[in-house]
A and B are shown apart, each in its own frame.
Chain A
Amino acid sequence: MSGLSEAYITGAGSFLPGPPVPSAEMEAYLGLVGGRASLFGRKALRWNGVETRHYALTPDGTPTHSNAGMCAGAVRAAVEDAGLGLEALSFLAAATTQGDWLVPGHAAAVHGELGCGPIEIASFQSVCGSSLMAAKAAWLSVRAGEHRAAAACAGEFSSRWFRPAFYEGTALVDAKGRLRSEADFLRFTLSDGAGAVVMEPAPRPDGLSLRVEFIDLVSLAGRFDPCMWAGAPTEGRADPMATWSHAGPVAAHAAGAVALLQDFELLKRVIRAWVGVYLQKVDEGRIDPARIDHLLCHYSARSLREEIVALLEKTAGMIPEEKWFSNLASVGNIGSASIWVMLDGFLKSGRLKAGEKILCVVPESGRAFVGFMLLEAVG
Protein backbone atom coordinates (compact mmCIF):
# COMPACT_ATOMS: atom_id res chain seq x y z
CA MET A 1 0.00 0.00 0.00
CA SER A 2 1.24 3.43 -0.89
CA GLY A 3 -0.28 5.13 2.16
CA LEU A 4 -1.61 7.86 -0.13
CA SER A 5 -5.23 8.85 -0.03
CA GLU A 6 -7.39 9.22 -3.12
CA ALA A 7 -7.95 12.67 -4.60
CA TYR A 8 -11.02 13.92 -6.42
CA ILE A 9 -11.81 16.82 -8.68
CA THR A 10 -14.73 18.40 -6.88
CA GLY A 11 -15.11 21.57 -8.90
CA ALA A 12 -14.22 23.05 -12.28
CA GLY A 13 -14.37 26.58 -13.63
CA SER A 14 -13.60 28.61 -16.74
CA PHE A 15 -12.97 32.21 -17.53
CA LEU A 16 -13.44 33.32 -21.12
CA PRO A 17 -12.87 37.04 -21.70
CA GLY A 18 -15.22 39.11 -23.86
CA PRO A 19 -17.66 37.86 -26.47
CA PRO A 20 -17.00 34.96 -28.86
CA VAL A 21 -15.07 36.38 -31.81
CA PRO A 22 -15.91 34.93 -35.25
CA SER A 23 -13.07 34.18 -37.64
CA ALA A 24 -13.89 37.11 -39.89
CA GLU A 25 -13.23 39.56 -37.04
CA MET A 26 -9.99 38.03 -35.72
CA GLU A 27 -7.63 40.35 -37.51
CA ALA A 28 -9.33 43.42 -36.08
CA TYR A 29 -8.34 42.22 -32.61
CA LEU A 30 -4.90 40.93 -33.55
CA GLY A 31 -4.05 43.80 -35.89
CA LEU A 32 -2.54 43.69 -39.37
CA VAL A 33 1.18 43.05 -39.50
CA GLY A 34 2.69 45.79 -41.66
CA GLY A 35 -0.84 46.73 -42.71
CA ARG A 36 -1.22 43.47 -44.68
CA ALA A 37 -3.87 40.80 -44.24
CA SER A 38 -2.59 37.41 -43.12
CA LEU A 39 -1.34 34.95 -45.73
CA PHE A 40 -1.78 31.75 -43.76
CA GLY A 41 -4.73 32.57 -41.51
CA ARG A 42 -7.39 30.81 -43.55
CA LYS A 43 -5.28 27.71 -43.98
CA ALA A 44 -4.67 27.58 -40.22
CA LEU A 45 -8.39 27.89 -39.52
CA ARG A 46 -9.26 25.12 -41.96
CA TRP A 47 -6.79 22.89 -40.20
CA ASN A 48 -7.72 23.65 -36.60
CA GLY A 49 -11.47 23.87 -37.13
CA VAL A 50 -11.91 26.75 -34.65
CA GLU A 51 -14.98 28.87 -35.43
CA THR A 52 -15.13 31.30 -32.49
CA ARG A 53 -12.65 32.20 -29.77
CA HIS A 54 -12.17 34.81 -27.05
CA TYR A 55 -9.62 37.61 -26.71
CA ALA A 56 -8.71 39.60 -23.64
CA LEU A 57 -8.50 42.59 -25.97
CA THR A 58 -10.95 45.10 -27.35
CA PRO A 59 -11.30 45.18 -31.15
CA ASP A 60 -8.63 47.91 -31.27
CA GLY A 61 -6.15 45.78 -29.33
CA THR A 62 -6.50 47.34 -25.88
CA PRO A 63 -6.13 44.71 -23.12
CA THR A 64 -9.18 44.05 -20.95
CA HIS A 65 -7.74 41.43 -18.58
CA SER A 66 -4.40 40.00 -17.50
CA ASN A 67 -3.43 36.34 -17.72
CA ALA A 68 -3.26 36.19 -13.90
CA GLY A 69 -6.64 37.93 -13.61
CA MET A 70 -8.28 35.38 -15.92
CA CYS A 71 -6.73 32.54 -13.93
CA ALA A 72 -8.00 34.05 -10.68
CA GLY A 73 -11.47 34.23 -12.27
CA ALA A 74 -11.30 30.56 -13.21
CA VAL A 75 -10.08 29.55 -9.72
CA ARG A 76 -12.93 31.46 -8.11
CA ALA A 77 -15.43 29.75 -10.41
CA ALA A 78 -13.96 26.30 -9.64
CA VAL A 79 -13.94 26.91 -5.89
CA GLU A 80 -17.54 28.07 -6.10
CA ASP A 81 -18.45 25.04 -8.23
CA ALA A 82 -16.97 22.81 -5.50
CA GLY A 83 -19.18 24.54 -2.94
CA LEU A 84 -16.18 25.96 -1.09
CA GLY A 85 -14.91 29.41 -0.24
CA LEU A 86 -11.47 30.74 -1.16
CA GLU A 87 -10.47 30.44 2.52
CA ALA A 88 -10.60 26.62 2.16
CA LEU A 89 -7.86 26.68 -0.48
CA SER A 90 -4.36 25.98 0.86
CA PHE A 91 -2.47 25.14 -2.33
CA LEU A 92 -2.46 26.77 -5.75
CA ALA A 93 -0.63 25.27 -8.72
CA ALA A 94 -0.68 27.64 -11.70
CA ALA A 95 0.28 26.90 -15.28
CA THR A 96 0.80 29.04 -18.36
CA THR A 97 2.86 29.30 -21.50
CA GLN A 98 3.76 32.92 -20.91
CA GLY A 99 2.77 34.76 -17.78
CA ASP A 100 2.26 38.49 -17.38
CA TRP A 101 5.71 38.88 -15.86
CA LEU A 102 8.97 37.23 -16.87
CA VAL A 103 9.69 37.00 -13.14
CA PRO A 104 8.40 35.92 -10.59
CA GLY A 105 6.33 32.82 -11.37
CA HIS A 106 2.77 32.76 -12.61
CA ALA A 107 1.35 31.28 -9.40
CA ALA A 108 2.49 34.39 -7.48
CA ALA A 109 0.66 36.59 -9.99
CA VAL A 110 -2.53 34.51 -9.73
CA HIS A 111 -2.33 34.48 -5.95
CA GLY A 112 -1.89 38.24 -6.07
CA GLU A 113 -5.06 38.60 -8.13
CA LEU A 114 -6.98 36.21 -5.88
CA GLY A 115 -5.90 38.31 -2.91
CA CYS A 116 -6.49 35.51 -0.41
CA GLY A 117 -4.33 34.80 2.67
CA PRO A 118 -1.04 32.86 2.85
CA ILE A 119 -1.09 29.62 0.85
CA GLU A 120 1.41 27.28 -0.77
CA ILE A 121 1.99 27.94 -4.46
CA ALA A 122 3.78 26.31 -7.39
CA SER A 123 4.35 27.68 -10.90
CA PHE A 124 4.49 25.56 -14.04
CA GLN A 125 5.68 27.07 -17.27
CA SER A 126 5.55 25.02 -20.46
CA VAL A 127 2.88 24.99 -23.16
CA CYS A 128 -0.41 23.07 -23.19
CA GLY A 129 0.96 20.30 -20.99
CA SER A 130 1.78 22.69 -18.14
CA SER A 131 -1.88 22.27 -17.15
CA LEU A 132 -1.34 18.63 -16.24
CA MET A 133 2.02 19.35 -14.61
CA ALA A 134 0.19 21.67 -12.24
CA ALA A 135 -2.61 19.16 -11.83
CA LYS A 136 -0.14 16.48 -10.86
CA ALA A 137 1.34 18.72 -8.17
CA ALA A 138 -2.12 19.46 -6.79
CA TRP A 139 -3.15 15.82 -6.99
CA LEU A 140 -0.04 14.53 -5.21
CA SER A 141 -0.28 17.24 -2.54
CA VAL A 142 -3.80 16.17 -1.72
CA ARG A 143 -2.94 12.48 -1.90
CA ALA A 144 0.02 12.97 0.42
CA GLY A 145 -2.21 14.67 2.97
CA GLU A 146 -0.37 18.00 2.68
CA HIS A 147 -3.49 19.86 1.59
CA ARG A 148 -7.25 19.35 1.99
CA ALA A 149 -8.19 21.62 -0.91
CA ALA A 150 -5.87 22.38 -3.80
CA ALA A 151 -6.50 24.25 -7.04
CA ALA A 152 -4.78 23.70 -10.36
CA CYS A 153 -5.31 26.49 -12.86
CA ALA A 154 -4.01 27.36 -16.30
CA GLY A 155 -4.37 30.49 -18.36
CA GLU A 156 -3.22 32.07 -21.58
CA PHE A 157 -3.15 35.59 -22.96
CA SER A 158 -1.75 34.56 -26.32
CA SER A 159 -3.32 37.35 -28.36
CA ARG A 160 -1.15 40.15 -26.98
CA TRP A 161 1.86 38.23 -28.34
CA PHE A 162 0.22 38.20 -31.74
CA ARG A 163 -0.04 41.98 -32.05
CA PRO A 164 1.95 43.57 -34.90
CA ALA A 165 4.64 45.00 -32.59
CA PHE A 166 5.98 41.48 -32.02
CA TYR A 167 6.75 41.07 -35.73
CA GLU A 168 7.16 44.44 -37.42
CA GLY A 169 10.76 45.44 -37.96
CA THR A 170 12.00 41.92 -37.27
CA ALA A 171 13.53 39.18 -39.39
CA LEU A 172 10.15 37.42 -39.32
CA VAL A 173 8.83 39.84 -41.95
CA ASP A 174 10.48 39.63 -45.38
CA ALA A 175 11.34 42.46 -47.78
CA LYS A 176 7.87 42.24 -49.33
CA GLY A 177 6.26 42.62 -45.92
CA ARG A 178 5.15 38.99 -45.59
CA LEU A 179 5.13 37.39 -42.15
CA ARG A 180 6.79 33.98 -41.94
CA SER A 181 4.38 31.05 -41.74
CA GLU A 182 6.01 29.81 -38.50
CA ALA A 183 4.65 32.95 -36.84
CA ASP A 184 1.48 33.65 -38.80
CA PHE A 185 -0.06 30.19 -38.38
CA LEU A 186 -0.06 30.44 -34.59
CA ARG A 187 -1.83 33.80 -34.65
CA PHE A 188 -4.85 31.97 -36.06
CA THR A 189 -4.49 28.97 -33.78
CA LEU A 190 -4.32 30.23 -30.19
CA SER A 191 -6.56 32.50 -28.14
CA ASP A 192 -7.22 33.62 -24.57
CA GLY A 193 -8.88 32.34 -21.42
CA ALA A 194 -8.33 30.33 -18.26
CA GLY A 195 -9.60 27.22 -16.55
CA ALA A 196 -9.20 25.59 -13.15
CA VAL A 197 -10.11 22.58 -11.05
CA VAL A 198 -10.28 22.00 -7.31
CA MET A 199 -9.05 18.74 -5.80
CA GLU A 200 -9.93 17.29 -2.41
CA PRO A 201 -9.30 13.99 -0.58
CA ALA A 202 -13.02 13.14 -0.56
CA PRO A 203 -15.78 13.43 -3.15
CA ARG A 204 -18.27 16.25 -2.80
CA PRO A 205 -21.31 15.36 -0.69
CA ASP A 206 -23.71 15.77 -3.60
CA GLY A 207 -23.43 15.40 -7.35
CA LEU A 208 -20.57 13.90 -9.31
CA SER A 209 -16.89 14.14 -8.43
CA LEU A 210 -14.01 12.83 -10.51
CA ARG A 211 -11.61 10.41 -8.89
CA VAL A 212 -8.19 10.95 -10.45
CA GLU A 213 -6.90 7.50 -11.29
CA PHE A 214 -3.57 8.63 -12.70
CA ILE A 215 -1.74 11.52 -14.29
CA ASP A 216 1.09 10.30 -16.53
CA LEU A 217 3.42 12.87 -18.10
CA VAL A 218 5.96 11.91 -20.75
CA SER A 219 8.61 14.22 -22.19
CA LEU A 220 10.58 13.28 -25.29
CA ALA A 221 12.61 16.50 -25.20
CA GLY A 222 15.79 14.43 -25.01
CA ARG A 223 15.16 13.43 -28.60
CA PHE A 224 13.31 16.29 -30.27
CA ASP A 225 14.23 19.92 -30.79
CA PRO A 226 11.86 22.71 -29.74
CA CYS A 227 8.80 22.60 -31.99
CA MET A 228 6.83 25.54 -30.60
CA TRP A 229 8.92 28.14 -28.87
CA ALA A 230 9.67 31.75 -28.07
CA GLY A 231 13.07 33.10 -27.13
CA ALA A 232 15.17 31.97 -30.08
CA PRO A 233 15.18 32.58 -33.83
CA THR A 234 14.21 29.70 -36.13
CA GLU A 235 17.76 28.84 -37.08
CA GLY A 236 19.86 27.61 -34.18
CA ARG A 237 16.90 27.43 -31.83
CA ALA A 238 18.07 24.15 -30.28
CA ASP A 239 21.15 25.82 -28.81
CA PRO A 240 20.45 27.14 -25.31
CA MET A 241 23.54 29.36 -25.61
CA ALA A 242 21.97 31.16 -28.56
CA THR A 243 18.73 32.19 -26.88
CA TRP A 244 17.35 35.70 -26.66
CA SER A 245 18.92 36.94 -23.45
CA HIS A 246 22.45 36.52 -24.80
CA ALA A 247 21.72 38.96 -27.59
CA GLY A 248 19.79 41.28 -25.30
CA PRO A 249 16.15 42.20 -25.80
CA VAL A 250 16.53 44.71 -28.63
CA ALA A 251 18.77 42.59 -30.86
CA ALA A 252 16.78 39.47 -30.03
CA HIS A 253 13.56 41.15 -31.07
CA ALA A 254 15.10 42.30 -34.37
CA ALA A 255 16.24 38.72 -35.03
CA GLY A 256 12.68 37.47 -34.54
CA ALA A 257 13.68 35.66 -31.36
CA VAL A 258 10.94 37.03 -29.13
CA ALA A 259 7.76 36.02 -30.97
CA LEU A 260 6.03 32.65 -30.56
CA LEU A 261 6.95 30.29 -33.41
CA GLN A 262 6.13 26.79 -34.59
CA ASP A 263 7.98 24.36 -36.84
CA PHE A 264 5.24 22.53 -38.77
CA GLU A 265 7.55 19.98 -40.38
CA LEU A 266 8.77 18.89 -36.97
CA LEU A 267 5.18 18.85 -35.71
CA LYS A 268 4.37 15.96 -38.05
CA ARG A 269 7.13 13.88 -36.46
CA VAL A 270 6.10 14.93 -32.98
CA ILE A 271 2.51 13.81 -33.65
CA ARG A 272 3.81 10.33 -34.51
CA ALA A 273 5.85 10.33 -31.30
CA TRP A 274 2.69 11.18 -29.29
CA VAL A 275 0.86 8.32 -30.95
CA GLY A 276 3.74 6.03 -30.01
CA VAL A 277 3.57 7.04 -26.36
CA TYR A 278 -0.20 6.59 -26.35
CA LEU A 279 -0.03 3.13 -27.94
CA GLN A 280 2.61 2.13 -25.44
CA LYS A 281 0.21 3.05 -22.64
CA VAL A 282 -2.43 0.92 -24.38
CA ASP A 283 0.01 -1.92 -24.76
CA GLU A 284 0.99 -1.80 -21.11
CA GLY A 285 -2.67 -1.92 -20.13
CA ARG A 286 -2.44 1.52 -18.53
CA ILE A 287 -5.07 2.77 -20.97
CA ASP A 288 -7.77 0.38 -22.18
CA PRO A 289 -9.56 2.10 -25.11
CA ALA A 290 -12.57 -0.21 -24.70
CA ARG A 291 -13.11 1.03 -21.15
CA ILE A 292 -12.99 4.74 -21.92
CA ASP A 293 -16.45 6.30 -21.98
CA HIS A 294 -15.39 9.83 -22.85
CA LEU A 295 -12.26 11.20 -24.44
CA LEU A 296 -11.25 14.81 -23.94
CA CYS A 297 -8.32 15.46 -26.20
CA HIS A 298 -6.71 18.81 -26.62
CA TYR A 299 -6.48 18.14 -30.31
CA SER A 300 -9.40 17.71 -32.61
CA ALA A 301 -9.97 14.37 -34.33
CA ARG A 302 -10.32 16.25 -37.60
CA SER A 303 -6.87 17.79 -37.38
CA LEU A 304 -5.27 14.37 -36.96
CA ARG A 305 -4.41 13.29 -40.41
CA GLU A 306 -6.24 10.38 -41.95
CA GLU A 307 -3.30 8.01 -41.74
CA ILE A 308 -2.97 8.57 -37.99
CA VAL A 309 -6.62 7.73 -37.44
CA ALA A 310 -6.23 4.65 -39.70
CA LEU A 311 -3.18 3.62 -37.70
CA LEU A 312 -5.04 3.98 -34.39
CA GLU A 313 -7.88 1.88 -35.77
CA LYS A 314 -5.64 -0.88 -37.07
CA THR A 315 -3.74 -1.06 -33.79
CA ALA A 316 -6.91 -1.27 -31.68
CA GLY A 317 -5.95 2.02 -30.08
CA MET A 318 -8.70 4.25 -31.48
CA ILE A 319 -11.40 5.55 -29.20
CA PRO A 320 -14.46 5.94 -31.46
CA GLU A 321 -15.11 9.53 -32.46
CA GLU A 322 -18.59 9.54 -30.88
CA LYS A 323 -16.86 9.30 -27.49
CA TRP A 324 -14.78 12.42 -28.11
CA PHE A 325 -16.00 15.57 -26.42
CA SER A 326 -14.53 18.86 -27.49
CA ASN A 327 -15.45 22.51 -27.38
CA LEU A 328 -12.33 23.68 -29.21
CA ALA A 329 -14.44 24.87 -32.15
CA SER A 330 -16.44 27.31 -30.04
CA VAL A 331 -14.03 28.40 -27.26
CA GLY A 332 -10.83 28.23 -29.31
CA ASN A 333 -7.50 26.61 -28.61
CA ILE A 334 -6.48 28.16 -25.28
CA GLY A 335 -3.20 26.30 -24.87
CA SER A 336 -2.75 25.14 -21.28
CA ALA A 337 -6.24 26.30 -20.29
CA SER A 338 -7.93 24.19 -22.96
CA ILE A 339 -8.17 20.95 -21.04
CA TRP A 340 -9.84 22.62 -18.03
CA VAL A 341 -12.21 24.68 -20.15
CA MET A 342 -13.06 21.48 -22.03
CA LEU A 343 -13.57 19.49 -18.82
CA ASP A 344 -15.71 22.27 -17.37
CA GLY A 345 -17.84 22.37 -20.54
CA PHE A 346 -18.12 18.59 -20.51
CA LEU A 347 -19.22 18.43 -16.85
CA LYS A 348 -21.82 21.11 -17.49
CA SER A 349 -23.11 19.30 -20.60
CA GLY A 350 -24.74 16.73 -18.32
CA ARG A 351 -23.48 13.76 -20.34
CA LEU A 352 -21.47 12.18 -17.55
CA LYS A 353 -22.85 9.33 -15.46
CA ALA A 354 -21.47 7.80 -12.26
CA GLY A 355 -19.00 4.99 -12.92
CA GLU A 356 -17.92 6.32 -16.32
CA LYS A 357 -14.28 6.89 -17.21
CA ILE A 358 -12.89 9.98 -18.85
CA LEU A 359 -9.51 10.04 -20.49
CA CYS A 360 -7.93 13.48 -20.88
CA VAL A 361 -5.08 13.69 -23.38
CA VAL A 362 -2.91 16.79 -23.56
CA PRO A 363 -0.24 16.71 -26.25
CA GLU A 364 2.20 19.60 -26.22
CA SER A 365 4.21 20.39 -29.30
CA GLY A 366 6.54 22.69 -27.31
CA ARG A 367 9.18 20.02 -27.16
CA ALA A 368 7.44 16.68 -27.71
CA PHE A 369 5.53 16.23 -24.49
CA VAL A 370 2.27 14.44 -23.82
CA GLY A 371 0.18 14.03 -20.69
CA PHE A 372 -2.67 11.67 -19.84
CA MET A 373 -5.15 11.92 -17.02
CA LEU A 374 -7.70 9.20 -16.29
CA LEU A 375 -10.77 10.15 -14.28
CA GLU A 376 -13.66 8.15 -12.93
CA ALA A 377 -17.02 9.72 -12.12
CA VAL A 378 -18.15 8.92 -8.58
CA GLY A 379 -21.17 9.98 -6.54
Chain B
Amino acid sequence: MSAVADVLRRLTVAFTEFEGRLEQTPLIRKLTRGRFEVADYRAFLVALRQQVKDGALWMSRAASNIDEEHLELRSLLMRHAVTEHRDFRLLEADYVATGGALAEIRQAEKNIGSEALSAWMFHEASRPNPFGLLGAMWIIEGLGSIKAAEWGRLVQQRLSLPDEAVRFLLYHGENDAEHIGEFEKMLDLVLPDAAVAERIVKTARVTGRLYALQIEEIAA
Protein backbone atom coordinates (compact mmCIF):
# COMPACT_ATOMS: atom_id res chain seq x y z
CA MET B 1 0.00 0.00 0.00
CA SER B 2 1.50 3.35 -0.93
CA ALA B 3 2.59 5.76 1.79
CA VAL B 4 0.43 8.51 0.30
CA ALA B 5 -2.73 6.37 0.18
CA ASP B 6 -2.01 5.25 3.73
CA VAL B 7 -1.82 8.82 5.03
CA LEU B 8 -4.80 9.95 2.93
CA ARG B 9 -6.87 7.19 4.47
CA ARG B 10 -5.91 8.15 8.01
CA LEU B 11 -6.58 11.78 7.20
CA THR B 12 -10.01 10.90 5.86
CA VAL B 13 -10.80 9.11 9.11
CA ALA B 14 -9.57 12.19 11.01
CA PHE B 15 -11.78 14.43 8.89
CA THR B 16 -14.92 12.36 9.39
CA GLU B 17 -14.21 12.26 13.12
CA PHE B 18 -13.94 16.04 13.01
CA GLU B 19 -17.11 16.36 10.97
CA GLY B 20 -19.00 14.23 13.48
CA ARG B 21 -17.79 16.50 16.26
CA LEU B 22 -18.88 19.61 14.39
CA GLU B 23 -22.32 18.11 13.99
CA GLN B 24 -22.57 18.00 17.80
CA THR B 25 -21.62 21.61 18.44
CA PRO B 26 -24.42 23.92 19.59
CA LEU B 27 -23.96 26.31 16.67
CA ILE B 28 -24.12 23.66 13.94
CA ARG B 29 -27.01 21.95 15.73
CA LYS B 30 -28.91 25.21 15.56
CA LEU B 31 -28.15 25.38 11.87
CA THR B 32 -29.18 21.83 11.04
CA ARG B 33 -32.20 21.89 13.35
CA GLY B 34 -33.61 25.08 11.91
CA ARG B 35 -32.96 27.32 14.93
CA PHE B 36 -30.22 29.42 13.43
CA GLU B 37 -30.61 33.21 13.61
CA VAL B 38 -28.80 36.17 12.09
CA ALA B 39 -26.96 36.71 15.38
CA ASP B 40 -25.66 33.12 15.15
CA TYR B 41 -24.47 33.72 11.63
CA ARG B 42 -22.65 36.89 12.61
CA ALA B 43 -20.98 35.14 15.52
CA PHE B 44 -19.96 32.39 13.12
CA LEU B 45 -18.41 34.91 10.71
CA VAL B 46 -16.50 36.55 13.54
CA ALA B 47 -14.91 33.24 14.51
CA LEU B 48 -14.18 32.29 10.93
CA ARG B 49 -12.50 35.62 10.28
CA GLN B 50 -9.92 35.04 13.02
CA GLN B 51 -8.98 31.73 11.60
CA VAL B 52 -9.00 32.76 7.94
CA LYS B 53 -6.88 35.82 8.69
CA ASP B 54 -4.35 33.71 10.56
CA GLY B 55 -4.36 31.01 7.89
CA ALA B 56 -2.27 32.85 5.33
CA LEU B 57 0.04 34.04 8.10
CA TRP B 58 0.89 30.64 9.53
CA MET B 59 1.22 29.28 6.04
CA SER B 60 3.77 31.99 5.22
CA ARG B 61 5.61 31.29 8.42
CA ALA B 62 5.61 27.58 7.67
CA ALA B 63 6.98 28.29 4.18
CA SER B 64 9.81 30.32 5.68
CA ASN B 65 10.77 27.32 7.80
CA ILE B 66 11.00 24.86 4.92
CA ASP B 67 14.56 23.99 3.91
CA GLU B 68 16.21 23.99 0.49
CA GLU B 69 15.57 20.30 0.00
CA HIS B 70 11.85 21.01 -0.27
CA LEU B 71 11.64 24.10 -2.40
CA GLU B 72 8.66 22.81 -4.38
CA LEU B 73 6.60 22.48 -1.23
CA ARG B 74 7.77 25.90 -0.11
CA SER B 75 6.58 27.39 -3.41
CA LEU B 76 3.22 25.68 -3.11
CA LEU B 77 2.65 27.00 0.41
CA MET B 78 3.68 30.52 -0.59
CA ARG B 79 1.32 30.50 -3.55
CA HIS B 80 -1.42 29.14 -1.35
CA ALA B 81 -0.84 31.87 1.22
CA VAL B 82 -1.00 34.56 -1.46
CA THR B 83 -4.26 33.16 -2.83
CA GLU B 84 -5.92 33.23 0.56
CA HIS B 85 -4.42 36.09 2.47
CA ARG B 86 -7.15 38.59 1.60
CA ASP B 87 -10.08 36.20 2.03
CA PHE B 88 -10.96 37.59 5.45
CA ARG B 89 -12.04 40.80 3.72
CA LEU B 90 -14.76 38.80 2.04
CA LEU B 91 -15.95 37.64 5.45
CA GLU B 92 -16.05 41.23 6.61
CA ALA B 93 -18.12 42.20 3.57
CA ASP B 94 -20.52 39.32 4.25
CA TYR B 95 -20.82 40.51 7.84
CA VAL B 96 -21.68 44.03 6.74
CA ALA B 97 -24.19 42.68 4.20
CA THR B 98 -26.09 41.01 7.05
CA GLY B 99 -26.47 44.45 8.64
CA GLY B 100 -23.52 44.13 11.02
CA ALA B 101 -21.04 46.96 11.65
CA LEU B 102 -17.56 46.57 10.19
CA ALA B 103 -15.93 47.74 13.42
CA GLU B 104 -17.66 44.93 15.33
CA ILE B 105 -16.16 42.09 13.31
CA ARG B 106 -12.76 43.79 13.15
CA GLN B 107 -12.55 44.38 16.88
CA ALA B 108 -14.04 41.10 18.05
CA GLU B 109 -11.90 39.02 20.37
CA LYS B 110 -10.84 35.48 19.62
CA ASN B 111 -12.83 32.92 21.56
CA ILE B 112 -11.10 30.25 23.64
CA GLY B 113 -11.02 27.77 20.79
CA SER B 114 -9.72 30.35 18.31
CA GLU B 115 -6.94 31.25 20.74
CA ALA B 116 -5.93 27.63 21.12
CA LEU B 117 -6.15 26.93 17.39
CA SER B 118 -4.16 30.00 16.44
CA ALA B 119 -1.44 29.35 19.04
CA TRP B 120 -1.15 25.75 17.88
CA MET B 121 -0.86 26.66 14.20
CA PHE B 122 1.83 29.29 14.75
CA HIS B 123 3.69 26.96 17.09
CA GLU B 124 3.73 24.19 14.50
CA ALA B 125 4.61 26.59 11.68
CA SER B 126 7.64 27.79 13.66
CA ARG B 127 9.30 24.37 13.67
CA PRO B 128 11.91 23.44 11.08
CA ASN B 129 10.30 21.66 8.10
CA PRO B 130 6.79 21.78 9.59
CA PHE B 131 5.37 19.09 7.32
CA GLY B 132 2.81 18.10 9.91
CA LEU B 133 0.88 21.18 8.85
CA LEU B 134 -0.19 19.35 5.73
CA GLY B 135 -2.53 17.55 8.11
CA ALA B 136 -3.89 20.89 9.32
CA MET B 137 -4.37 21.97 5.73
CA TRP B 138 -6.31 18.78 5.00
CA ILE B 139 -8.76 19.64 7.79
CA ILE B 140 -9.10 23.31 6.95
CA GLU B 141 -9.20 22.85 3.18
CA GLY B 142 -11.69 20.05 3.70
CA LEU B 143 -13.90 22.50 5.55
CA GLY B 144 -13.66 24.83 2.58
CA SER B 145 -14.36 22.26 -0.07
CA ILE B 146 -16.90 20.08 1.75
CA LYS B 147 -18.56 21.98 4.57
CA ALA B 148 -18.54 25.64 3.53
CA ALA B 149 -20.97 25.43 0.61
CA GLU B 150 -23.21 23.08 2.60
CA TRP B 151 -23.33 25.55 5.49
CA GLY B 152 -23.71 28.46 3.08
CA ARG B 153 -26.79 26.94 1.49
CA LEU B 154 -28.33 26.12 4.88
CA VAL B 155 -27.61 29.63 6.19
CA GLN B 156 -29.14 31.22 3.13
CA GLN B 157 -32.17 28.98 3.27
CA ARG B 158 -32.81 29.54 6.99
CA LEU B 159 -32.19 33.27 7.07
CA SER B 160 -33.33 34.24 3.56
CA LEU B 161 -30.13 36.24 3.08
CA PRO B 162 -29.04 37.69 -0.26
CA ASP B 163 -26.06 36.11 -2.05
CA GLU B 164 -23.76 38.98 -1.06
CA ALA B 165 -24.14 38.06 2.61
CA VAL B 166 -23.02 34.45 2.13
CA ARG B 167 -20.23 34.87 -0.41
CA PHE B 168 -17.40 33.48 1.68
CA LEU B 169 -19.16 30.19 2.43
CA LEU B 170 -20.62 29.76 -1.03
CA TYR B 171 -17.47 30.79 -2.89
CA HIS B 172 -15.35 28.26 -1.09
CA GLY B 173 -17.45 25.35 -2.21
CA GLU B 174 -16.72 26.17 -5.83
CA ASN B 175 -13.00 25.42 -5.55
CA ASP B 176 -13.81 21.86 -4.77
CA ALA B 177 -12.77 19.69 -7.72
CA GLU B 178 -8.97 19.67 -7.63
CA HIS B 179 -8.80 19.40 -3.86
CA ILE B 180 -7.62 15.83 -3.34
CA GLY B 181 -5.37 15.74 -6.42
CA GLU B 182 -3.37 18.80 -5.36
CA PHE B 183 -3.10 17.52 -1.86
CA GLU B 184 -1.77 14.19 -3.06
CA LYS B 185 1.01 16.05 -4.88
CA MET B 186 2.01 17.82 -1.69
CA LEU B 187 2.08 14.57 0.27
CA ASP B 188 4.24 13.07 -2.45
CA LEU B 189 6.86 15.73 -1.78
CA VAL B 190 7.41 14.63 1.83
CA LEU B 191 6.51 10.92 1.83
CA PRO B 192 7.41 8.12 2.33
CA ASP B 193 8.72 8.94 5.80
CA ALA B 194 7.15 7.20 8.78
CA ALA B 195 7.82 10.02 11.25
CA VAL B 196 6.42 12.66 8.87
CA ALA B 197 3.37 10.49 8.18
CA GLU B 198 2.67 10.21 11.92
CA ARG B 199 3.11 13.93 12.40
CA ILE B 200 0.74 14.80 9.54
CA VAL B 201 -2.00 12.61 10.95
CA LYS B 202 -1.43 13.83 14.51
CA THR B 203 -1.51 17.45 13.38
CA ALA B 204 -4.76 16.83 11.50
CA ARG B 205 -6.35 15.35 14.61
CA VAL B 206 -5.21 18.15 16.91
CA THR B 207 -6.30 20.78 14.41
CA GLY B 208 -9.72 19.17 14.02
CA ARG B 209 -10.17 18.99 17.78
CA LEU B 210 -9.21 22.64 18.28
CA TYR B 211 -11.26 23.80 15.32
CA ALA B 212 -14.30 22.05 16.76
CA LEU B 213 -13.53 23.76 20.08
CA GLN B 214 -13.59 27.10 18.31
CA ILE B 215 -17.05 26.35 16.89
CA GLU B 216 -18.18 24.98 20.25
CA GLU B 217 -17.21 28.25 21.90
CA ILE B 218 -19.27 30.42 19.58
CA ALA B 219 -22.11 31.91 21.54
CA ALA B 220 -24.46 34.33 19.87
Contact = CB atoms under 8 A, between A and B. Distances in A.
A208 B216 CA distance: 53
A36 interface: no
9 contacts: A223-B20, A238-B33, A269-B150, A272-B146, A273-B16, A283-B9, A314-B5, A315-B12, A316-B9
Interface string A265-277: 1101100110111
A224 interface: yes
Contact of B24 (A223, A275, A310): A223
B13 A273 contact: no
Contacts of A310: 180
Contacts of A282: 9
Contacts of A314: 5, 8, 180, 184
Contacts of A279: 9, 12-13, 16
Nearest to B179: A307
Interface string B24-41: 100001001110000000
A224 B12 contact: no
Nearest to B10: A283
Given A225-B32, A235-B34, A236-B33, A273 B9 contact: no
Nearest to B23: A223
Interface residues of B, number: 26
Nearest to A368: B20
B6 to A, nearest CB: 7
A317 interface: yes
B6 A273 contact: no
Main secondary structure of the interface of B (DSSP, over half): helix
Contacts of A88: none
A29 to B, nearest CB: 34
A225 B20 CA distance: 11
Given A225-B33, A316-B5, A311 B19 contact: no
A115 to B, nearest CB: 45
Nearest to B5: A316
A257 to B, nearest CB: 16
Contacts of A222: 24
Contact of A275 (B2, B12, B154, B184): B12
Contact of A269 (B8, B19, B29): B19
B5 A273 contact: no
Residue in A224, A238, A280, A314 whose Cβ sees the most chain B Cβ within 10 Å: A314
Given A235-B34, A314-B8, A314-B180, A283 B13 contact: yes
A222 B12 CA distance: 20
Contact of A276 (B17, B29, B150, B184): B17
B205 to A, nearest CB: 13
A251 interface: no
Contact of A272 (B16, B24, B29): B16
B1 interface: yes
Contacts of B17: 276
